Amino acid sequence: MILPQELIRAKRDGRGLDDSEIAGFVSGITDGRVTEGQAAAFAMAVFFRGLSLAERVALTRAMTWSGTVLTWDLPGPVLDKHSTGGVGDAVSLALAPMVAACGGYVPMISGRGLGHTGGTLDKLASIPGYDSTPGLDRFRNVTRSIGCAIIGQTADLAPADRRFYAIRDVTGTVESLDLITASILSKKLAAGLGGLVMDVKTGSGAFMAEIDEARALADSIVSVANGAGLNTVALVTDMDAPLASSAGNALEVTYAVDYLTGRACEPAFHAVTVALCAEMLVLGGLAADTAEASRRVEEARTSGRAAEIFGRMVAALGGPSDLVENTGRHCPMAPVIRPVMAERAGIVAGVETRHLGLAVIALGGGRTRPQDEIDPAVGLSSLARPGDVADTLGIVHARNEAEADAAEAALRAAYRIEDEGPSPRPLIIERVADKA
């Protein structure tokens, strides 16, 4: 294997890397021959120099095959969705059981929070007893018997990405199109999927804030995935405001349960969730088109089947058997809960959504170092969206009064209040499919 420092230098200086060099470096990440500092330096070199399509494919394949690659023998299609991350993006928690209720099988491998965004794995970790890293046999059995299982990367699945992911989170290299592509697809390819729908966010709360960046990432993921034999489409969706009105781990679990049970149904969250589910059903041959698929998804939620499946999944993975019925009993609550009122009358004209995500991290709901522990109870709820009357901007959930003060200031600073509301912005901006 080429010395790690020489490979880093080569990429730093703009030289292309061949398959064997990339495979060797990824092998070193997996077995520890590449140090955390070297992996961080490589990530930074890629961030600035980029990877060619061939290098992207090689990196994706190497990380996929750094561990076990699953195969399935199920009576329905094996499908998944992945989001590039945002604030209040609790879609996965609702989507997996909704698709399962329609006949799909969803073995979803999710990650921890990255940068200012929340991670599905961290949200599930707020459920007492939930085993987010089960053995592969348990993962298979839960997926087969219930229809979905949402877990984190185990030691068996794409272990190189698991280590690299944590390093990227704290080294300012999250936004690399190349590394995002390889990270997402290595996990999905290792899960043995038959179809994947990507939710590529754009706006002030997204890693790809500009629409051209989001399109480029969507194109990258679709082209690399389809080139690797995984049928994939992408939706570019809006993240210029929190998707759900809650941001924080236990708060988002509660939000998702309320949505699945019909206790709440916010239009933006609902529209994006249904659109992604519908694309999955069409990919899996479970519906002829997205109109039919949307009707099936709606019925799966309103009938209560999706909520039942979510509850069964939680129980099968070690969580409480009555989470859906008694969410408040099981999800932790912060000791300080404080509404934040707007300082002037008017309409919410805009939100610096990334700042809201950073406020959640500052409260203890995210990490600044890979080893940091997360407080599952803290976060923000009842967040206002653009176009809302400026009244309550949100509610802070904090460990103490000092942290609540800081979050209150951050919340107010993130909102722009004017006399008139903003021009409408579409939630589903465009669809990207394989050009072949």
Please tell me the pTM assigned to this model. Answer: 0.89
Q: Are residues 320 and 353 in the same domain?
A: no
Q: Are residues 185 and 231 in the same domain?
A: yes
pLDDT the model gives residue 208:
83
The enclosing domain of 411 has a CATH number of 3.90.1170.30
Crossing angle of helices 290-302/305-316, nearest 10°? 70
pLDDT the model gives residue 370:
67
Dist CA 326 CA 436 (whole Å): 49
User: What percentage of the chain carries pLDDT values higher than 70?
Assistant: 98
**Could you tell me the two tokens for 358?**
């950073």
Q: Are residues 170 and 146 in the same domain?
A: yes
pLDDT the model gives residue 180:
87
Encode pLDDT of 204-261 as tens digits.
988 788 999 999 999 999 999 988 889 999 999 999 999 999 999 999 999 999 999 9
pLDDT the model gives residue 119:
83
Residue-number span of the structural domain to which 410 is assigned: 333-418
How are the residues of the chain apportioned to helix, strand and coil, as percentages rounded to the nearest 5? 45, 15, 40
Across 153-268, where does the E strand assignment appear?
A: 195-202, 231-238
pLDDT the model gives residue 174:
79
Q: Are residues 377 and 318 in the same domain?
A: no
| pLDDT surpassing 70 at residue 436 | no
Q: Are residues 32 and 154 in the same domain?
A: no
Q: Are residues 45 and 108 in the same domain?
A: no
pLDDT the model gives residue 109:
87
Question: Mean pLDDT over residues 153-163, rounded?
Answer: 85
CB 359 within 8 A of CB 414: yes
Q: Which residues are catalytic?
A: 80-83, 120, 168, 183, 187-188
Residue 155 lies in a domain: yes
**Could you tell me the two tokens for 423?**
């021009």
- pLDDT bucket at 155, cuts 50 / 70 / 90: confident
Encode pLDDT of 28-86 as tens digits.
999 999 999 999 999 999 999 999 988 998 999 999 999 999 999 999 999 999 998 89
Dist CA 359 CA 349 (whole Å): 20
pLDDT the model gives residue 169:
75
- Residue type present at position 31: D
The enclosing domain of 168 has a CATH number of 3.40.1030.10
pLDDT the model gives residue 172:
85
Give the chain's radius of gyration (CA, Å): 21
Least confident segment among 153-157, 202-206, 401-405, 406-410: 153-157
Q: How many other C-beta atoms lie within 10 A of the C-beta of residue 158?
A: 32
pLDDT the model gives residue 117:
74
State the DSSP code for 362.
Answer: I
pLDDT the model gives residue 211:
94
Encode pLDDT of 292-333 as tens digits.
999 999 999 999 999 999 999 999 999 999 999 999 999 999
Q: Are residues 112 and 29 in the same domain?
A: no
| pLDDT surpassing 80 at residue 367 | no
What is the count of structural domains for the chain? 3
pLDDT the model gives residue 257:
98
Encode pLDDT of 91-114 as tens digits.
999 999 999 999 999 999 887 766
For the chain, what is the mean pLDDT? 93
